């Protein structure tokens, strides 16, 4: 492997890790409810069906019936109780109502205080994601230093690569801030 390929490999790994970091943040934000019905809050709900744990979205349709109501229609009606139990156990913060054919989740209006708490939670998640991005920077910088120490790359190549790492991290942090700002705006919109 040539020196340049090793540096490119460090950048490929860094870009991949940064992409995943932002992606995980977006997934976590999708699960935070903003007073509107959002099927993504049920993404992590597992239902005991047919002797094994199965994701809820694989057992039936999840539809938004209006701005504040989700309707869950299991394909097998015998699973209604198990689905209801799984939703209660998942701590989504909404009590399901089972009418014998479908389960409804009605999202209550968020109070101003609850909105502020959610904004704080979103900001903390954003900060934690920035820390993860900075940890990825540290890993890339250490790999570059090691290559420089082992004389695998020159001083100039190392400096240029370090500048590129800083640029990649800055772009990632800007992206994280945009995602946080968008979620904050969503939460504060009544």
Alpha carbons 132 and 59: distance in angstroms, whole number: 35
* pLDDT tens for each residue of 103-122: 998 887 778 888 888 899 89
Q: Euclidean distance between the first and final Cα of the chain, in Å?
A: 56
SS3 150: coil
**Distance (Å, whole) CA 123 – CA 134:** 17
Its pTM stands at 0.70
Q: Give pLDDT tens digits for 172-183.
A: 999 999 999 999
Q: For position 98, what pLDDT does the model report?
A: 87
Which CATH architecture group holds 39-106? 2-Layer Sandwich (3.30)
Closest CA to 93 of 165, 143, 34: 34
* pLDDT for residue 190: 62
The fraction of the chain above a pLDDT of 70, given in percent, is 96
**At residue 147, does pLDDT exceed 70?**
yes
Percent of the chain past pLDDT 90, that is, above it, reads 36
Within the chain, all domains assigned CATH 1.10.132.20 are found at 3-31+111-188
For residue 125, give Cα distances in angstroms to 22, 40, 85, 177: 11, 18, 29, 11
Q: Which CATH architecture has domain 3-31+111-188?
A: Orthogonal Bundle (1.10)
34-63 pLDDT per residue, tens = 667 778 778 888 888 888 888 888 888 888
Question: Can you point out the beta strands (E) in the chain?
Answer: 46-49, 52-55, 60-66, 69-74, 97-98, 103-106
Asked if residue 1 has pLDDT above 50, the reply is: no
Confidence bin at 2 (pLDDT 50/70/90)? very low
Could you give the residue range(s) of every CATH 3.30.1360.40 domain in the chain? 39-106
């Amino acid at each position: 492997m040539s020196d340049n390929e090793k540096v490119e490999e460090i950048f490929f790994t860094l870009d991949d890790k940064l992409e995943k970091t932002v992606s995980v943040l977006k997934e976590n934000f999708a699960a935070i409810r903003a007073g509107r019905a959002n099927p993504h809050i049920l993404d992590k709900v597992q239902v005991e069906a047919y002797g094994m744990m199965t994701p809820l979205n694989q057992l039936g349709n999840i539809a938004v019936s209006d701005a504040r109501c989700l309707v869950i229609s299991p394909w097998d009606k015998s699973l209604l109780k198990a689905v209801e139990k799984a939703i209660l156990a998942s701590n989504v913060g909404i009590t399901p109502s089972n009418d014998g054919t479908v389960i409804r989740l009605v999202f209550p209006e968020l109070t101003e205080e609850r909105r502020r708490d959610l904004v704080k939670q979103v900001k903390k998640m954003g900060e934690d994601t920035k820390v993860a991005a900075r940890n990825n920077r540290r890993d890339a910088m250490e790999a570059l230093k090691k290559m420089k120490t082992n004389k695998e790359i020159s001083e100039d190549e190392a400096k240029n690569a370090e500048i590129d790492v800083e640029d990649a991290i800055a772009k990632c942090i800007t992206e994280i801030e945009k995602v946080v700002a968008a979620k904050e705006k969503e939460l504060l919109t009544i």
